[in-house]
Amino acid sequence: MTHPPHLPKSDLEALSRRLQRLHAQLIEAERQFHPGLAPLALLDRLVNDPQWAWLRPLSALIADIDHVLAQEQPPTEFDRAVVAAHVRGLLAGEGDLQHQQFLERYRGLLQLHPGLVSLHGEVKAMLKGAPLESDDEAERLHARHQWAMRCKHRGPIH
């Protein structure tokens, strides 16, 4: 039995949905430390509070993926490899795309919340089928640059 080929767009859509679920659960996990936080106050903290800055790299990655998915030009396998590298760096500290502030807080919350561990495992399983970035540094940097240019017009998340 042959498996259908991976389609970068459908794979990135599925990854984005899973990352959105993970993001939502991370927010809920953080809310335990901020009881009674109203939705508008939560939004303000997510965007402006330095104590919540650790979560912004995941928010930005999800926004970048969704921005690229909304473009007329479909994502490529190179895009998929760059996204996978970003996710691996963010959630597992692998490679050179790490974000230490995120990783420290994320690992602490993983230890406290079994639901996060389950979602983490689901994302990790999704990445097993994702292509790796090129071993050639010039090719890897070129693919990352292409990805950054596709995400450029989304605008910053502070």
pLDDT digits 0-9 by tens, 37-58: 888 888 888 888 888 899 999 9
The model's pLDDT over 57-111, given as tens digits with 9 standing for 90+, comes to 999 999 999 999 999 999 999 999 999 999 999 999 998 998 999 999 999 999 9
Distances, alpha carbon 109 to alpha carbons 28, 35, 52, 65, 96, in Å: 11, 16, 13, 24, 23
pLDDT of residue 8: 86
Residue 1 lies in a domain: no
Residue 2 lies in a domain: no
pLDDT of residue 154: 53
Instruction: Tell whether the model's pLDDT for residue 4 goes beyond 70.
Output: no
105 membership: H or E segment, kind and range: helix 100-112
User: What is the Cα–Cα distance from 97 to 85, expressed in whole angstroms?
Assistant: 7
* Least-confidence region, from 32-36, 123-127, 136-140, 141-145: 32-36
91 membership: H or E segment, kind and range: helix 77-92
**What region does 121 belong to: left with phi over 0, alpha with psi -120 to 50, or beta?**
alpha
Q: Which two tokens stand for residue 63?
A: 């926004």
User: What is the Cα–Cα distance from 25 to 27, expressed in whole angstroms?
Assistant: 5
pLDDT of residue 153: 64
Q: What is the residue range of 125's domain?
A: 8-154
Number of independent structural domains in the chain? 1
pLDDT of residue 64: 95
pLDDT of residue 117: 94
pLDDT of residue 2: 44
The model's pLDDT over 139-154, given as tens digits with 9 standing for 90+, comes to 999 999 999 999 886 5
Q: How many residues does the chain have?
A: 158
Contact between residue 129 and residue 86 where contact means Cβ atoms under 8 Å apart: no
Residue 3 lies in a domain: no
Residue 23 lies in a domain: yes
